[in-house]
Every structure is written in structure tokens, then in C-alpha cells.
A and B are shown apart, each in its own frame.
Chain A
Amino acid sequence: MKKKHDWVFVLPAILVVAVMTQVPFILTIVYSTLRWNLARPDMPIKFAGIDNYLYFMRIENWKEIPEFYSIVWQTVMITGLTLAICTITGFLMSLLLDTTVPGVNFARTLILGPFFVMSTASGVIWKTTILNTTFGWYGVIAKALGFTSVDLLSYYPIPVIIFLFVWQWMPFFVLVILAGLQGISFDLIDSMRIDGVNWFQATFLIKLPMITNHIRVAVMLGLIFIVKEFGLILVTTAGGPGTRSYTLPYAVYMEVFNASNVGRASALATMTVAMTLIAVNMLYRSLKKRSAI
């Protein structure tokens, strides 16, 4: 009889967890159904149904696809390419660091450096002291070599952003993948040597399959972190030129802080969360399947 009411004592914990994690999201969903512009307190807040969603998603003319879709595509492209490059370079870098040569610990520490620099700080450094065509190293070196420097941030914003994301996030991949490589038992490595396995076979046919789960975890966490990466875009391209380097989180930021439009920003945020959850869920399922095997 007593046990029947034990759940009551768990109630504070449930309430706290619900308030801390779910209430803000539920409120965002509620706000997304309102016509609410902070800059216009004279216009009453009113229920708008799915108008805010339609504002972004409605296609009136197939020749002019709304900006929302190009922003989604840019987000997918930036995140996807960053994850792919981080995985490949992270794996190769981990192979280099998975040795016992002198100074390898120092090299491991150095490689982690970019991961610990704040993204806004690294953005400012890259934009002003390195990539600027007049005052930056790139401009100075190009001039000294007789080349005409191109404003990379304006003409190639997405490649530059992907490069900067990779620069910053690759160390994280190294951290996880290296842990996987170092977890491979010495017995197995000795056996490989005795069996006369060459480097290619050892790396891609034996070690790589053994650390697949580590790579999946790195990709899943990387996806969660990189999809919401915002500071670097703000300080480098500011989403530009035009909206060419906007990602969904940056678009949400502009909608709420520049347009003061709470309703539309909430709709955009809700769609962003939904899309991210679907992608993470897919990865997680594949991870679970893999573990089951």
C-alpha cells in the first residue's frame, strides 16, 4: 500500500527536470503560434495558428523558392561537410598521434589548441589578422608574392566557414578517435604483426572497423555542437553576403534580435529543433543497431 504512493516523492525531481528542460521548449512552440512583434507593442499579441510556419515555408511560385529552404540547405551542407572533413582528418590525425615517438604528448596537446579557443575570438582573429586583404597576413603575403588577394569571406563564405569549423572542431574528433585507437589491445596489434598484416590492412580493415562506434559518437556529438554553432558565423561573415552563409540558428538570432519578431523566431526555432532531433535520432538508432550486432 505504501509503495503505491512512492511516486509522490519523485515529483519534485520530475517537476524540476520538466521546468528546466521542457518548459522553455513548450513555450517556444506556444509562441510560434502567436503574432508577436516586440517592436510593435501597439499591435496586440494574437493567435496566428500556423501562419508563422507558413511565412517561411509557403512556396507561392516554384521559380522563386523562399529563402528558408536555401538556409536549410546551407545548414545541412555546412554541418554535413564539416562533419565529413572532421571525421576524415580527425581519423588521419589520430593515426599520426597514436604512436610512441618522443614528443607525441606535446603534439597531442598542441593539436587540441583550437578546440579551447572561444569561437568568437577565433573568428575575429581569422577575419581581421589573417584573412583581411589589406591588413591581414593573407593580404600582406599575397602582395609580397605579387598576387591579387581575393576577399574570401565575401566571395567564398561557405568554404571559409567550413574551414574554420573544421579548424575548431577537428581536435574534438581527434580526442574521441584517438581514445578508440588507444583502446585497441596490444595483443591484437602483436597478432597483426605476427600474421604479416601490412599498414593499409591494419588501418582500414582492422583498426577502423574496431573504432566505428567511437567515430559514430564523435559524429553524433559533433552534429549536436556544430549545428548550433553561431558565434563564428556572427563575427566572420555575419551570415553574408546576403544570406549566403546563414544557418538556421543564425536566422533565429536575426529574427528575434534584429526583427524583434518573437512569433516567427519561435517558429523557426521549433523547426530547427525538430530537424536536429530527427538527424540525431537517425544517428542514435544506427549506433544502437550497431551495438546490438
Chain B
Amino acid sequence: MKRFSAVIVSVTCAALFVLSGTQAFAGGAGEAKSAAGAPVVINVAFANNPISQALEKIAKEKYKAPGVTVNFAVLPENDLRQKLTTEASTGGTTYDMFYFGPYEANNWARNGWLENLDPYFKALPADKAAWYDKADLIQGMLGSVSLNGSPYALPFYGESSFIMYNKELFAAKGLTMPDAPTWDQIYELAKKINDPAKGIVGMTMRGAPGWGMSGAPFVTIVNAFGGRFYDMNWNATVDTPEQRGAWQMYKKILREAGQKDILSYTYNECIALMQSGNCGIYYDATSIAPPLESAGSAVKGKVGYVLPPHQKMTTNTAWLWNWSMGINPKSTAAKKQAVFDFMLWATSKDYVKMSLELDPTGSSTPPASRSSTYKLPAYASAPYATMTLKTLESTDFTKPTLEPVPYVGLQYIAIPEFADAGTKMTQYLADYVVDKITLDEAIKKTNDLFNQVAKDGGYKK
């Protein structure tokens, strides 16, 4: 009996020691505090792009909610994606608000990793609902983060892609940018502008691997060249003349007329280069334009904006994206409500107006989330506003390619496995760009990879 008691005591001691560090013990205490009226602390994470960083800055100064403390984390885009995907899929509660785009929204909502916002909107008092004016949100953007008609996130800002070019450098060389250029024309122009002796770079694009990094411009080049990643039976179709043309175009532009540290360039480095006035052409998101027109930029007022380049496919060659905010369903009720209130504030008309008042250049103002933004005189007169709207209106993410495909998404394939496959593809692309592997090797590796994805994911019957 004595022996049995000793065993029980020993096991209990060990179990208590181990359990004392677990969430079951820690979580309960936290909830009780919130319910008792103690301050609610919410953790939110953003990507390190200029408009999101502006939100962090403005929110720190201006967002006031009684009893609520907001902790901000700003992470590089690739890291943010990895962190939040792990967080959502494992039911973590490090972040109470998720920051993501349509690619994640669809999968996450279906998997129950996001809170349905319908009940929150239904519970809004009439005056607050009128103040928020949900109908003013651009419906395509809201629709891209909704499932079965219910919103699972609120779009903070949206973007498409277009060409930005330095009018001064073009004039100096006597060149003209076509209104709707082809990739061949862009390549020729970039080469003419490129002047390494004077430190002038012909063209810049994202080169750092990552499906949302170099993958974004690259996949739209593939689409423009008439390439696709799968046929209707989920057979990989990377080894085609169209795809090869796109791979070669991406490489030759960057190698013959691009930045030297090709693979280190995220959009932040591209923006810095374009802002310095030493770059001729820049293909990236429409939301990149405002920082180019901001006070510290050497190209302020000197940038021209034209439609995204096309090739075999003549329309719908841009990308479509938005950065949206959603609620972590695993957070406590008090935190969820606090996050919803913060989201309402950040995506409201008032925030748009306030950001424009604080920074009249518009570089802090979230574009393409609300129709009313384009009616604000200060914003409508911005040099990029018309082209941003025009590009946004010309995109359709349900028909991304020339030939029919079994997937949707312009710069991505809307399947959960694409985060990994797209990143690996851009790694092969990087390898090819710096001559570590040949085009044949890169194409074969990518084709095998996409076939493996179709098999692993059970898409190919």
C-alpha cells in the first residue's frame, strides 16, 4: 500500500509540474481577468508594406478604445504569411487579428480558421452601421474575402499591378512609353534606359523568392505569355513554349537591364531604387505608387503610369490582391469584439479621410477598399488614381489564363499547397536567373513539383 501511495504521489507531482506550464492553466486565468473588466490586450500583426506601416503609426497615435490596448507587430510579408498560417492552422492565440489576402481568406474561412463577421455586423447599433457604411466597401474586394455571402474579413486596402516609369529618364533618352505596352516593348525600353556607368537601372521588379514576392510579377508574366500551370485534368503544363517565353523574359529583363542584387530585392528595395530617381521602369502593385509621389521621393511628379504589360494575352494581365483583417476564432469573446472594433475603425471612411489629412500626398491612404475614397478631391487628383481604377476594373481573377484552367487566382493558384509550391517555383526561378541551373532544369523541376502537388493534394483523379 505504501509503495502504491508513493507511486501515486510521485506521478501526481510530476504531472502537476508539467501541467503548470500548459495553456489549460494559463488560458483560464486570462479569460477570468477580461470578464472581470480588466483591460483587454489585443495583438495584431501587419505586413511591412508602406500603407500597412502607416496604419501602425496612425493607430498608435489616434486609435482610442476605452480599456483596450493594441500591440502591433510588423513583419516582412513572407514571415507574416508563414507565422499566421501556422497560427491559424494550429489554433494558436498569439495574434488576435490576422492580416492576409484573398488567397488565405477562402481556404481559412472554409477550414474554420476565421470568425464569421455576420453576427458582429448584425449586433452593430444603427448609428454605428450607418457611420461605417458597409455598402461603400468595393464589393469585389469584400467578396474576395467572403464565403457563401458572409464576410470573414474586411479589406483594408486593395491593389492591382501596373507599370510605373520615370518620365524624366525617358525624356532624356527621347523614348516614349506606350499606353498599353507588351513585354517585348518593355524589355527594349528597359535596355535603352539601362546605363550602368551612370548608375541608372533600366527596370526593377521583385526578385526575392516567395510566392507573394517574385511570384507575383512572374505569374502575371506567365499569364500574359499565354502560359498556365495546369490543364483541366490537373496535369502540370509548365513545359510549354509559352511558359518558357515567360521564364526567359523575366530573366533577360533583370539580367540585362535590372538591379544588380536581383535576388535580394523585395518591393521595399524596388521602391527605394525607384524613389532615388535612378531607375527607368518599375512593374509592381498599384499601391506602390503613393510612396513614389510622397515628399521624400526624388521622382515626385515625374512618374508616368500605364497598363500592365501584355503579350499573347491582351487583357487581364495584372494581379489582384487586397490586404484584409480577420478575427482569430480562438481568441476570447472580449478580444474578438475589441479586434472587430479596431477593424471597423481601420477600414472606415474616417480613417481614409484622416490618413489623407495627415499625409496629403496620399501615400498613407488605403486605396481600392472604398468607392468613396475616389470621390475625395485630394485623392482623385493624384496622378496614379485614374490608372489604378482602370487596372482594377480590368482584372478578373476567375479567368486568369488564355486557355481554361481548373483553378482561380491571377498571381497565385487558389489551392492551399500553392504557398509551398509557388515558393519553390520562385526558388527555381532564382536559380535560373543567376545561372545556377539551366532553363530546361528549372522547367522540369517546376513541372515535376506541380505534378507532385496535384497528386499529394488529391486534385488529380
Residues on A facing B (Cβ under 8 Å):
5, 8-9, 11-12, 15-16, 19, 37-43, 127, 132-135, 139, 143, 148-151, 153-155, 238-244, 254, 256-261
Given A134-B261, A153-B264, 14 more pairs with CB closer than 8 A: A15-B11, A15-B14, A19-B18, A132-B264, A150-B260, A151-B260, A151-B261, A151-B434, A240-B209, A240-B431, A241-B431, A258-B419, A259-B420, A260-B419
Which residues between 145 and 167 of chain B lie within 8 Å of chain A, taking CB atoms?
none
Q: Tell me which residues across on chain B come within 8 A of A11, comparing CB atoms.
A: 7, 10-11, 14
Top 9 A-B residue pairs of the complex, sorted by shortest distance between their CB atoms: A242-B431, A259-B420, A39-B416, A15-B14, A38-B89, A11-B10, A241-B430, A257-B82, A151-B261
Q: Name the CB-closest residue of B to A5.
A: B3
- The answer to whether A135 touches B272, judged by C-beta atoms less than 8 angstroms apart, is yes
Q: Tell me which residues across on chain B come within 8 A of A257, comparing CB atoms.
A: 82-83, 85-86
Instruction: Assign chain B's interface to a size class.
Output: 35 or more
Q: Tell me which residues across on chain A come within 8 A of B456, comparing CB atoms.
A: 37
Give Cα A238 to B420, complex, Å: 14
Chain A proximity mask over B196-231: 1 for CB below 8 Å, otherwise 0: 100100000000110000000000000000000000
Tell which of B13, B260, B433 touches A134, judged by Cβ atoms closer than 8 Å: B260
Q: Tell me which residues across on chain B come within 8 A of A15, comparing CB atoms.
A: 10-11, 14
- The answer to whether A148 touches B196, judged by C-beta atoms less than 8 angstroms apart, is yes
Ordered by A's residue number, 18 sampled pairs between the chains whose C-beta atoms are within 8 Å are A9-B10, A12-B10, A16-B17, A39-B85, A39-B89, A39-B417, A40-B416, A40-B417, A150-B260, A151-B262, A154-B430, A154-B434, A242-B428, A242-B436, A242-B437, A257-B82, A258-B82, A259-B419
Q: Tell me which residues across on chain B come within 8 A of A19, comparing CB atoms.
A: 14, 18
Majority SS of interface residues in chain B?
A: helix
Q: Tell me which residues across on chain A come within 8 A of B82, comparing CB atoms.
A: 257-258
Give Cα A238 to B213, complex, Å: 13
Give Cα A17 to B388, complex, Å: 60
A142, chain B: closest CB distance, angstroms: 10
- The answer to whether B427 touches A38, judged by C-beta atoms less than 8 angstroms apart, is no
Give Cα A12 to B196, complex, Å: 69
- The answer to whether A134 touches B273, judged by C-beta atoms less than 8 angstroms apart, is yes
Which residues between 88 and 146 of chain B lie within 8 Å of chain A, taking CB atoms?
89-90, 107, 111
Give Cα A135 to B201, complex, Å: 14
| Given A259-B420, A260-B420, A241:B263 Cβ within 8 A | yes
Give Cα A238 to B85, complex, Å: 19
B4, chain A: closest CB distance, angstroms: 10
- The answer to whether B264 touches A127, judged by C-beta atoms less than 8 angstroms apart, is yes
Q: Name the CB-closest residue of A to B427.
A: A242
Q: Which of B85, B90, B208 has the most CB of A within 10 A?
A: B85
| Given A11-B14, A238-B208, A242-B436, A41:B89 Cβ within 8 A | yes
B411, chain A: closest CB distance, angstroms: 17
Give Cα A16 to B15, complex, Å: 8
Q: Name the CB-closest residue of B to A153.
A: B264
